[in-house]
């Protein structure tokens, strides 16, 4: 099958969407399919690739403070030639912005189907990242924009049940088929190779951080920002540490309120047990999960199961998080972690798990087992099934989303 993936960002840009798109490309190519990328042209050095079309007329779009996002004006004759040269059979868009709009227009002109993965909960994005523009860009103006885009696709792919439910709302796109395909992560590119090597590296991390054998390590990895409820997480962790002297907290990452939390820590009675590492290279992150006993997050603005949760599971680390649809498929109460009903419950759940070594061990095993459901093999086979179903039904009838979802859910390996 010849497939074109349209995305507003690709390497050298690094973010969640790039990870998903690249992983899909690699997995499809491993199975013998031909994949091309249509994307923007960054203003930094990048590697040339004959299977990547980069729009010359690309402009920076610093949404939410990001410095490596772009929009593009794509010249159709040149893109048409590229797509025809590669004999593209189906287009898969990963953005609602300019490149995504060009994707469905290209599909229509070439008379081939197109699908869209919706990675972003735009309503939340505007509130959390573009709140200064809310007075000029009311949320209600978002819905007709999305409806006008989504109506051109044969099917939408939600990265979680939460996203699918959002897409099916009356004011979004209730009549467009939408299925769920969860994100995936390749553990071979994430964790240290070999069980003994992983244990050794984890031991070195704990020693470097000053965490003793009889102490438990709580871990957060990610952006330290208001929209991630990092301050709420910090306050909850202070309450936890005040109640259990054998716990230490490690924050891995940077962000807008990083310095604020550093300053706040100086005035707490548990300042010696809160550790901030700052930015850590992704290739090293796996060892931090392996070193940790429990992963914690307070974020409620995720559109899907966050990559950090999948990463934690691969490292056999259970997760404590707020009750939210984004975690419904992954964080199973009493098995792979707990979803807390409130901030107070969040504190209690952490203390409960850390005081029960048997429960913690059982949850660690189940978390690692759960990680197998997020493997690239399952991810790519589900996409291929959907592509083929859409190709078989193109220009004939709309797919039965319930029947298709049932078949997708049966793909377990």
Q: For residue range 97-131, list pLDDT tens digits in order.
A: 889 999 999 999 999 999 999 987 767 766 666 55
The CA distance from 94 to 35, in Å, is 14
Contact criterion met (CB below 8 Å) for 172 and 161 = no
Q: Where are the alpha helices (H) located in 244-321, listed in sequence order?
A: 258-265, 282-291, 307-314
The CA distance from 84 to 202, in Å, is 50
Contact criterion met (CB below 8 Å) for 339 and 327 = yes
The first and second tokens of residue 13, run together, are 């840009």
pLDDT of amino acid 348:
98
Contact criterion met (CB below 8 Å) for 341 and 320 = no
pLDDT of amino acid 57:
64
- Residue 406, C-beta contacts closer than 8 angstroms, at least 6 positions apart: none
Q: What is the DSSP letter of 214?
A: T
Q: For residue range 199-213, list pLDDT tens digits in order.
A: 889 999 999 999 999
Which segments of 68-120 are extended strands (E)? 70-73, 90-93, 114-118
The strand order across the sheet containing 319-322 reads 274-278, 247-252, 216-221, 294-296, 319-322, 337-340
Contact criterion met (CB below 8 Å) for 386 and 179 = yes
pLDDT of amino acid 67:
53
- Residue 362, C-beta contacts closer than 8 angstroms, at least 6 positions apart: none
CA 185 centroid distance within chain: 10
pLDDT of amino acid 76:
93
pLDDT of amino acid 195:
56
What SS3 class is residue 63?
helix
Which among 264, 275, 279 is positioned nearest to 223, based on CA atoms?
279
The first and second tokens of residue 162, run together, are 């939460």
What SS3 class is residue 124?
helix
Residues of the chain with pLDDT under 50: none
pLDDT of amino acid 198:
76
């Amino acid at each position: 099958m010849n497939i074109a993936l349209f995305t507003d960002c690709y390497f050298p840009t690094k973010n969640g969407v790039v990870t998903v798109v690249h992983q899909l490309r690699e997995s499809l190519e491993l199975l013998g399919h031909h994949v091309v990328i249509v994307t923007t042209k960054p203003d930094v050095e990048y590697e040339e690739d004959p299977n990547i079309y980069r729009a010359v007329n690309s402009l920076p779009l610093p949404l939410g403070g990001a410095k490596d996002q772009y929009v593009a004006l794509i010249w159709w004759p040149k893109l048409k030639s590229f797509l025809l040269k590669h004999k593209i059979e189906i287009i898969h868009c990963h953005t609602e912005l300019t490149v995504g709009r060009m994707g469905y227009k290209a599909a229509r002109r070439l008379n081939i189907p197109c699908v869209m993965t919706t990675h972003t909960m735009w309503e939340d994005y505007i509130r959390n990242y573009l709140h200064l523009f809310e007075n000029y860009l009311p949320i209600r103006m978002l819905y007709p924009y999305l409806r006008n885009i989504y109506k051109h696709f044969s099917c939408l792919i939600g990265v979680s049940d939460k996203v699918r439910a959002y897409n099916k709302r009356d004011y979004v796109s209730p009549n467009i088929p939408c299925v769920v395909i969860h994100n995936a992560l390749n553990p071979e590119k994430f964790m240290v190779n070999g069980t003994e090597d992983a244990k050794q590296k984890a031991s070195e991390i704990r020693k470097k951080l000053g965490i003793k054998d009889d102490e438990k390590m709580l871990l957060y990895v990610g952006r330290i920002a208001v929209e991630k409820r990092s301050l709420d997480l910090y306050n909850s962790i202070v309450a936890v540490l005040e109640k259990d002297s054998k716990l230490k907290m490690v924050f891995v990452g940077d962000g807008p309120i990083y310095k604020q939390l550093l300053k706040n820590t100086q005035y707490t009675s548990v300042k010696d047990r809160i550790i901030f590492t700052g930015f850590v290279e992704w290739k090293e992150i796996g060892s931090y999960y392996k070193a940790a006993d429990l992963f914690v997050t307070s974020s409620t603005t995720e559109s899907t199961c966050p990559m950090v949760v999948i990463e934690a599971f691969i490292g056999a680390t259970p997760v404590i998080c707020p009750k939210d649809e984004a975690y419904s498929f992954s964080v199973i109460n009493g098995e792979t972690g707990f979803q807390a009903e409130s901030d107070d419950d969040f504190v209690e759940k952490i203390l409960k798990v850390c005081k029960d070594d048997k429960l913690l061990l059982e949850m660690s095993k189940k978390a690692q087992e759960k990680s197998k459901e997020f493997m690239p093999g399952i991810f790519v086979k589900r996409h291929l099934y959907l592509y083929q179903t859409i190709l078989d039904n193109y220009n004939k009838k709309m797919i039965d989303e319930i029947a298709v979802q049932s078949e997708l859910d049966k793909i377990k390996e």
